């Protein structure tokens, strides 16, 4: 009998390819799409087809926490091009970083149907400060960390409040200048955008002037919004930074900065809105000879416009239909005839479609311990019903919690496509010429591309270092020669975790010595054991690799400061949190357990023995010889050997089978034979060759103890034993109910700051979803925040307040 279990790495690759084909079909990408622009369009299509651009969005329950509180989060995974739910990954890696970008908390959140939910209990030892919550998948690690989701939160340690009001440091202000298209060119007029920021990266209002090398004023400017603005400049001289900008800050001294260098020869482009739905792109060059240039406009790697531009006397103007652009950010890239990118700039078009969420509370005001009933309905902007997946948080509004929260529609369409922190992103979605001008300044100053054109145009694409995780987290390790950093190639490595549920994985090391193991239903902390077969290799060193990214965005989190005027709020929140911890400790760590598959990886064995049903012997050899006919025990010079009976041809295998104890390989049969058989509850035997991933076993013998913890068995000293954190168990949010008079009259205080958190709300088309929760004992205004995504890719959010009046 021959059995086979596929390689975890191979099965993952197969599932990835199938998922990729489905993604291509859903995205409508045609492999036979006509190429244009001398092959540029085709190469961009090829780059896009290699794999989807994945995005994550996190809905966090609040903008501010106290040390000791719980941070709740909902993860949305979407296709970066169309924002539709994307089921490519099954794991989201979430981290909380301090001001030095060091992780203070890390977790793996399970994704199912493109969503997931997680939580962190913030340790009481965390210092007060500004922290960054970031999230990404294994697949996203192939790209820039600027593409990871990032959101800033404040954590206050009321046990040891530290920090001081931020000192005014105008000297730390900085100004940067960004010519439209990328370059200043001698004799050609350019639009120059600029951004003035303080030491935390926040925009600062300023005005200034540009001086030529002789000190004459050639341009004046002032900020429009969030420290950004623009002006026109036609350089008359070339060279390294011949122009100087002198800026006067709204609060602080004057600062001086050099403008970028001016090229003697080159190209500039200018993009301006025209009448109706038209844009005018103007290209100028220093040469006067006719030239053919290529213009490619893409939105998140989806080609929207591909056109040739003919320069006459060094100039050309092209009218473009804005309706051909996808919603959100579009990239305009100009190439020469040799496919060399010359200029690039970004353009923002607010989405015309979004998810509308209607939420109606049953009353305008509530009292303490009162029931709040909500009706949720989701439609598009034409009021057509849509099914959607939503999350909702309800928390008390005070001066500490008054900060803005990220909205899913603003993040997916704008913030995720730009570098750095975007101040007041909702403003750029408003109508009006000033908002359009401010959005254009933002595109010019914080523009960024997820890829480099060198990668797209390369003849041989660069291979991806990280595969997606469609089934579960992938555990990676590296094999090196003992005492060196030289990788060991082609060595089979086994991964196991002692348990009554028998699981075993194997992998062959690649040229870098990397082995990968796909883990399904892998939750909570577990002891992992990695080893090689000593008959194949006995000298390599195994190092377990962290799955968390070690690359970080250059974005700077705002500085943290405490304000004396908020002292009463700090005290109040401290008391509230401690009261909840004292009176409701049993609800802090309640988990919803996931159902586990109890079938061993090899399925149904050919022979299975529950040893308690037989006469118990004190020596393992007697057990095997007396009533396990599928195993023949032999004694040779080096000790005991197992020979499994191959029932296919009624013969004995000449090699030892794979021997397992609680799922852990044991290559030294003598150690198994020395065990006390009274510790063994079950024995399974596979009669016949068994193909498992990259390995082939001459039969398989699996011993299982009563507790599944090896019962004191000591593995070989070469075995790497290390605790590894699997997926987060899903913590259950507790919200008390006051349905009876007795419950309402309970003397237990209810000082919750977060009244309600529900990360999994599903609406159906045409039917309102009813939700209910109860207020606590604190009067005040409470903010209700609802966010979500439809199956068609429409994102939306809404927020409103409910008033809780004190009981008179």
The 3-state secondary structure of 199-262, one letter per residue:
CCCCECCEEEEEECCCCCEEEEEECCECCEEEEEECCCCCECCCCEEEEEECCCCEEEEECCCE
Q: What is the pLDDT of the chain when averaged over all its residues?
A: 89
CA-to-CA distance for 515 and 479, rounded, in angstroms?
Answer: 8
Task: Give CA–CA dist 23/371, Å, rounded.
Answer: 44
Judge contact between 574 and 156, C-beta under 8 A.
no
pLDDT tens string 10-42: 555 555 555 555 444 444 443 333 466 888 998
How far, CA to CA in Å, does 254 sit from each of 11, 204, 224?
63, 13, 18
Q: What is the pLDDT of residue 704?
A: 96
Is the residue at 667 inside a domain? yes
Give the mean pLDDT of 677-690: 94
Contact 205/256 with Cβ under 8 angstroms? no
**What is the spatial distance between Cα 634 and Cα 673, in angstroms, rounded to a whole number?**
12
User: Cα 610 from chain centroid?
Assistant: 46
Q: What pLDDT digit, counting tens, does each position of 309-342 carry?
A: 999 999 999 999 999 998 899 999 999 999 999 9
The mean pLDDT value for 450-455 works out to 86
CA distance 644 to 701: 8
Q: Computed over its alpha carbons, how large is the radius of gyration of the chain?
A: 32
* Element at 582 (helix H, strand E): helix 567-583
Pull the structure tokens for residue 353: 């479609």
Which strand ranges, in their side-by-side order, compose the sheet holding 631-636?
A: 631-636, 639-646, 651-652
Please give the residue that has the higher pLDDT: either 401 or 663.
663
Contact call for residues 680 and 659 (beta carbons, < 8 A): no
Tell me the backbone φ, ψ of residue 250, rounded to 5 degrees. -65, -35
Mean pLDDT, rounded, for 513-540:
91
- Residue 169 banded pLDDT, cuts 50, 70, 90: very low
Angle, CA of 574, 576 and 581, to the nearest 5°: 95
785 DSSP assignment = E
Residues 6+ apart with CB under 8 A from 531: 493, 494, 542, 665, 667, 715, 716, 718, 719, 720
Residue 209: CB atoms within 10 A of its CB come to 17
Dihedral sign for Cα 87, 762, 386, 798, please.
negative
Is 60 exceeded by the pLDDT of residue 480? yes
- 192 touches 181 (CB < 8 A): no
Distance of alpha carbon 212 from alpha carbon 214, whole angstroms: 5
Residue 600 has pLDDT above 60, yes or no: yes
Distance CA 737, CA 6 (A): 49
Helix (H, G, I), strand (E, B) or coil at 765: coil
Identify the residue whose tokens are 């990729």. 20
pLDDT at 11 (0 to 100): 53
- Residue 5's pLDDT band (boundaries 50, 70, 90)? low
C-alpha torsion sign, points 238, 240, 242, 244: positive
In the DSSP assignment, the letter for residue 709 is S
| Confidence at residue 30, expressed as pLDDT on a 0 to 100 scale | 38
How many separate domains does the chain show?
Answer: 1
Q: How far is it, in rounded angstroms, from Cα 68 to Cα 122? A: 5
Residue 578 per-residue DSSP state: H
Of 301, 292, 302, 290, residue with least CA distance to 335: 292
| C-alpha span between 725 and 106 (Å, rounded) | 10
Q: Please report whether residue 610 resides in a domain.
A: yes
**Order of all β-strands in the sheet with 54-60:** 54-60, 70-79, 115-121
Per-residue pLDDT, 170 = 41
Which whole number is the average pLDDT over 441-459? Answer: 89
What is the structure's pLDDT at 598?
81
Provide the percentage of residues in the chain whose pLDDT is more than 90. 71
**CA nearest neighbour of 181 among 293, 302, 290, 41:** 293
> What totals of helices (H) and strands (E) does the chain contain, helices first?
9, 50
Place of tokens 């009981």: 807
pLDDT tens, 233-291?
999 999 988 999 999 998 778 999 999 999 999 999 999 998 888 999 999 999 888 89
Nearest Cα to Cα of residue 734 among 711, 714, 750: 750
What gap in Å lies between CA 747 and CA 744, rounded to an integer? 9
Please state the pTM of the whole predicted model.
0.91
- Kindly give, in sequence order, each residue whose CB lies less than 8 Å from that of residue 147, ignoring residues fewer than 6 positions away: 53, 55, 136, 140, 416, 450
Q: Under 8 Å CB-to-CB from 408, ≥6 apart: which residues?
A: 57, 59, 76, 787, 788, 789, 795, 796, 797
Residue 400 in domain: no
- With respect to residue 158, please indicate whether it lies within any of the assigned structural domains: no
* Residue 650 structural domain: 474-544+595-728
- The number of residues making up the chain comes to 808
- Is the pLDDT score of 85 beyond 60? yes
pLDDT at res. 10: 52
CB atoms within 10 A of CB 16: 18
The single residue listed with the structure tokens 């080159």 is: 266
Residue 702 lies in a domain: yes
Cβ atoms 287, 314 nearer than 8 A: yes
Residue 80 domain-assigned (yes or no): no
Task: Report residue 3's pLDDT band, with 50, 70 and 90 as the boundaries.
Answer: low
Q: How many CB atoms lie within 10 A of CB 239?
A: 13
**Lookup: tokens for 329:** 């950010």
CA dist 630 and 349 (Å) reads 71
- Please give the distance of CA 463 from its chain centroid, rounded to a whole number: 21
> Is-contact 64 566, C-beta < 8 A?
no
Q: What is the tens place of the pLDDT at every residue in 540-583?
A: 999 999 999 999 998 877 778 777 777 777 788 888 888 888 87
307, β-bridge pairs: 295
Q: What is the pLDDT of residue 725?
A: 95
Alpha carbons 759 and 33: distance in angstroms, whole number? 40
Residue 273 Cα distances to 83, 184, 426, 433, angstroms: 26, 22, 21, 10
Residue 510 has what pLDDT?
Answer: 94
Quick one: average pLDDT of 142-158? Answer: 93
In Å, the largest CA–CA distance within the chain is 104
Phi, psi at 117, each rounded to 5°: -140, 140
Distance of CA 526 to the CA centre of its chain: 23
């Amino acid at each position: 009998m021959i059995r086979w279990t596929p390689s975890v790495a191979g099965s993952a690759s197969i599932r990835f390819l199938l998922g990729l084909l489905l993604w291509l079909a859903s995205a409508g990408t045609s492999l036979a799409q006509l190429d244009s622009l001398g092959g540029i369009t085709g190469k961009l299509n090829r780059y896009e087809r290699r794999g989807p651009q994945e995005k994550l969005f996190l809905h966090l329950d609040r903008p501010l926490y106290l040390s000791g509180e719980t941070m709740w989060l909902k993860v949305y995974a979407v296709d970066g091009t169309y924002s539709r739910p994307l089921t490519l990954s099954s794991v989201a890696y979430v981290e909380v970083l301090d001001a030095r970008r060091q992780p203070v908390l890390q977790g793996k959140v399970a994704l199912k149907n493109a969503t997931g939910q997680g939580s962190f209990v913030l340790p009481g030892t965390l210092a007060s400060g500004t922290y960054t919550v970031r999230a990404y998948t294994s697949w996203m690690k192939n790209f820039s960390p600027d593409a990871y989701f990032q959101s800033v939160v404040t954590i206050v340690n009321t046990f040891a409040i530290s920090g001081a009001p931020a000192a005014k440091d105008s000297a730390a202000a900085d100004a940067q200048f960004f010519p439209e298209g990328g370059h200043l060119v001698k004799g050609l007029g350019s639009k120059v955008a600029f951004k003035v920021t303080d030491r935390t990266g926040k925009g600062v209002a300023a005005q200034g002037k540009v001086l030529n090398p002789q000190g004459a004023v050639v341009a004046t400017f002032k900020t429009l919004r969030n420290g950004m603005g623009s002006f026109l400049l036609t350089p008359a001289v070339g060279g390294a930074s011949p122009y100087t900008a002198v800026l006067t800050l709204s609060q602080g001294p004057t600062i001086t900065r050099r403008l970028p260098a001016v090229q003697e020869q080159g190209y500039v482009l200018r993009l301006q809105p025209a009448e109706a739905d038209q844009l005018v792109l103007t290209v100028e060059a220093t040469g006067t000879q006719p030239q053919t240039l290529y213009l490619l406009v893409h939105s998140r790697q989806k080609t929207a416009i591909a056109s040739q531009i003919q320069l006459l006397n060094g100039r050309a103007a092209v009218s473009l239909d804005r309706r051909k652009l996808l919603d959100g950010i579009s990239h305009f890239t100009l190439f020469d005839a040799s496919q060399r990118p010359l200029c690039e700039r970004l353009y923002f078009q607010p989405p015309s479609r979004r998810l509308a969420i209607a939420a109606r509370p049953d009353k305008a005001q509530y009292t303490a311990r009162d029931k709040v009933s909500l009706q949720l309905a989701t439609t598009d902007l034409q009021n057509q019903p849509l099914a959607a997946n939503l999350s909702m948080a309800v928390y008390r509004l005070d001066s500490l919690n008054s900060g803005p929260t990220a909205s899913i529609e603003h993040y997916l369409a704008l913030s995720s496509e730009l570098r750095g922190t975007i101040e007041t992103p909702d403003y750029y979605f408003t109508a009006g010429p000033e908002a359009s001008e401010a959005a254009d300044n933002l595109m010019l100053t914080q523009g960024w591309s997820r890829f480099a054109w060198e990668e797209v145009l390369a003849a041989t694409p660069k291979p991806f270092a990280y595969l997606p995780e469609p089934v579960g987290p992938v555990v990676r390790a590296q094999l090196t020669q003992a005492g060196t950093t030289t990788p060991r190639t082609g060595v089979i490595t086994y991964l196991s975790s002692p348990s009554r549920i028998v699981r075993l994985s194997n992998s062959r090391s690649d040229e870098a010595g990397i082995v990968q193991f796909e883990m399904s239903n892998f939750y909570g902390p577990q002891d992992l054991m990695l080893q090689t077969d000593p008959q194949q290799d006995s000298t390599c060193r195994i190092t377990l690799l962290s799955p968390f990214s070690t690359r970080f965005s250059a974005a700077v989190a705002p500085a943290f400061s405490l304000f004396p005027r908020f002292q009463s709020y700090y005290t109040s929140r401290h008391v509230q949190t401690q009261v909840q911890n004292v009176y409701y400790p049993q609800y802090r760590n309640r988990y919803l357990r996931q159902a586990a598959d109890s079938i061993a990886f090899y399925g149904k064995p050919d022979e299975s023995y529950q040893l308690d049903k037989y006469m118990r012997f004190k020596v393992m050899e007697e057990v095997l010889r007396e009533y396990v006919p599928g195993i023949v025990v032999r004694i040779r010079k080096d000790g005991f050997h197992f020979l499994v009976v191959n029932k296919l041809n009624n013969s004995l295998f000449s090699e030892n089978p794979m021997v397992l104890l609680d799922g852990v390989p044991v290559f030294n049969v003598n150690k198994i034979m020395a065990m006390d058989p009274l510790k063994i509850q079950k024995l399974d035997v596979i009669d016949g060759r068994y193909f498992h991933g990259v390995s082939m076993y001459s039969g398989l013998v699996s011993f299982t103890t009563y507790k599944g913890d090896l019962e004191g068995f000591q593995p070989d000293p070469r075995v790497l034993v290390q605790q590894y954190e699997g997926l987060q168990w899903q913590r259950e949010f507790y919200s008390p109910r006051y349905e009876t008079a007795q419950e309402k009259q309970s003397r237990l205080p209810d000082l919750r700051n977060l009244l309600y958190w529900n990360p999994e709300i599903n609406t159906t088309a045409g039917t309102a979803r009813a939700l209910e929760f109860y207020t606590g004992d604190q009067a005040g205004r409470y903010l209700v925040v609802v966010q979500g995504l439809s199956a068609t890719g429409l994102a939306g959010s809404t927020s409103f307040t409910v008033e809780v009046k004190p009981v008179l």
